[in-house]
């Protein structure tokens, strides 16, 4: 075939555009559909772990691989779903991060969302549910925020790490969880930050949302969403944002602790927390939030001294309903660790018990509101 001159090439292209067709000519690049921009922020954990050998599934060093290396390992496939940039926030186990670190992470995510369509955060799974709920309560943008990690390090046979990271980027780029707040994506399952919890120390299907159920799944190219968090009802409204704007809070956040109840539990833990200056305490109670007589007496004394309590169940599911008891707020079905975060942020905003109660009954319960007919 005779080689086209530059003039012929230009003319051929113009004719093709006029006819509304796509033509390829020698030396011409085919048009590429732009893909969404996704920022991947690495904080460490098992997903970035390096094993001693390819079958040391539990014997490994976490927080060794940089997030840039992990994303590079997913190329060229990941480039077809997103334009990915990376940022190394940290590289350690999730349990090693402080509330001050969480605060910086929120600022990092907010900043990334200004120039990207979505954000993926990689973390260790031990406290991933707390990472997720914190971001759910504090990130101001309604763009997708996806957390992922793995139960096996990057370098072992059968690792879930690369698939989880790829699927998280795929989910983020799809935009399908806009206004969902923060969600988790592991083991092909999509879970809401408020409900999800780690249920097994070692299994890859460890994350569950209990009776609420998963939001949906990622099945290769298909993303299926079967339900949505309640806050999606406020999508597009100012009320979608939670009241917890960290930029408007003081540098020092309140101290909130957790006290676990059991048979004949003493009240010393609650007294010690109160004496040490705790602003709030969450009780992980038996059944529907019950605490031992000794803990109950210690709680009454602490309430008199201004300590606010949130009552939760240690069972892992079910609700503790609010009884409007002075100084004690029912935390619905929040886990103790999540109730702690909500109480901490609430106390940073106000000391008005009625307002805190309202936040626990709305943000904490997150039930869908049925419009009146």
Residue-wise pLDDT tens digits, 220-275: 999 999 999 999 999 999 999 999 999 999 889 999 999 999 999 999 999 999 99
Mean pLDDT over each residue of the chain, to the nearest integer: 91
Task: Tell me the three state secondary structure of residue 40.
Answer: strand
Sign of CA dihedral 284, 288, 291, 297: positive
CB atoms within 10 A of CB 164: 24
pLDDT at 3: 43
pLDDT at 367: 78
Matching residue, tokens 């390090």: 153
Q: What is the CA radius of gyration of the chain?
A: 24
Q: pLDDT (tens digit, 9 = 90+) per residue, 114-168?
A: 999 999 999 999 999 999 999 999 999 999 999 999 999 999 999 999 999 999 9
Q: How many residues does the chain have?
A: 373
pLDDT at 50: 96
Side-chain-facing half-sphere of 93: CA atoms under 13 Å:
7
Is 46 one of the catalytic residues?
Answer: yes
DSSP tag of 77: G
CB atoms within 10 A of CB 287: 11
Q: pLDDT (tens digit, 9 = 90+) per residue, 337-360?
A: 999 999 999 999 999 999 999 999
Under the banding of pLDDT at 50, 70 and 90, the label for residue 365 is confident
Residue 20 pLDDT greater than 80, yes or no: no
pLDDT at 9: 43
Nearest one of 42, 41, 72, 46 to 61, comparing CA atoms: 46
Q: Are 229 and 137 within 8 A, CB to CB?
A: no
pLDDT at 373: 66
Sequence-separated (6 or more) residues with CB below 8 Å from residue 90: 42, 43, 44, 63, 97, 101
d(CA 253, CA 246): 10
Nearest one of 256, 264, 309, 267 to 286, comparing CA atoms: 264
pTM greater than 0.85 (yes/no): yes
CB atoms within 10 A of CB 71: 23
Nearest one of 175, 38, 182, 158 to 105, comparing CA atoms: 182
Strand-pair category, 328-330 with 145-148 = unpaired
Under the banding of pLDDT at 50, 70 and 90, the label for residue 25 is very low
pLDDT at 4: 43
Q: Which of 43, 46, 177, 182 is catalytic?
A: 46
Matching residue, tokens 């990207």: 116
Nearest one of 37, 32, 34, 33 to 172, comparing CA atoms: 37
DSSP tag of 327: T
């Amino acid at each position: 075939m005779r080689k086209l001159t530059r003039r012929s090439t230009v003319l051929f292209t113009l004719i093709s555009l006029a006819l509304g067709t796509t033509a390829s000519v020698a030396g011409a690049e085919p048009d590429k559909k732009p893909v969404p921009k996704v920022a991947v922020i690495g904080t460490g954990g098992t997903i970035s772990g390096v094993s001693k050998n390819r079958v040391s599934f539990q014997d490994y060093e976490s927080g060794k691989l940089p997030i840039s290396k992990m994303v590079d390992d997913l190329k060229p496939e990941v480039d077809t779903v997103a334009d990915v940039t990376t940022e190394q926030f940290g590289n350690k186990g999730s349990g090693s991060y402080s509330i001050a670190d969480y605060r910086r992470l929120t600022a990092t995510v907010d900043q990334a969302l200004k120039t990207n369509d979505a954000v993926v955060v990689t973390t260790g799974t031990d406290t991933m549910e707390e990472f997720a709920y914190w971001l759910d309560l504090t990130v101001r943008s309604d763009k997708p925020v996806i957390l992922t990690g793995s139960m096996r390090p990057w370098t072992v046979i059968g690792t879930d790490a690369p698939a989880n990271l790829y699927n998280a980027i795929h989910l983020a780029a799809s935009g399908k969880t806009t206004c969902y707040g923060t969600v988790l994506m592991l083991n092909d399952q999509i879970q809401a930050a408020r409900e999800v919890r780690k249920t097994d120390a070692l299994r890859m299907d460890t994350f569950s949302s209990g009776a609420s159920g998963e939001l949906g799944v990622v099945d290769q190219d298909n993303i299926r969403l079967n339900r949505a968090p309640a806050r999606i009802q406020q999508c597009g409204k100012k009320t979608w944002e939670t009241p917890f704007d960290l930029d408007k809070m003081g540098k020092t956040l309140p101290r909130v602790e957790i006290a676990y109840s059991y048979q004949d539990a003493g009240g010393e833990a609650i007294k010690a927390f109160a004496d040490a200056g705790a602003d709030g305490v969450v009780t992980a109670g038996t059944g529907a939030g019950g605490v031992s007589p000794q803990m109950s007496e210690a709680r009454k004394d602490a309430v008199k001294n201004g300590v606010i309590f949130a009552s939760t169940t240690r069972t892992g599911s079910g609700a503790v309903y609010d009884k409007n008891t002075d100084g004690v707020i029912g935390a619905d079905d929040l886990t103790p660790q999540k109730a702690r975060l909500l109480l901490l942020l609430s106390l940073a905003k106000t000391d008005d018990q009625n307002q805190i109660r309202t936040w626990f009954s709305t943000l904490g319960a997150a039930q869908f509101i049925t419009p009146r007919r």
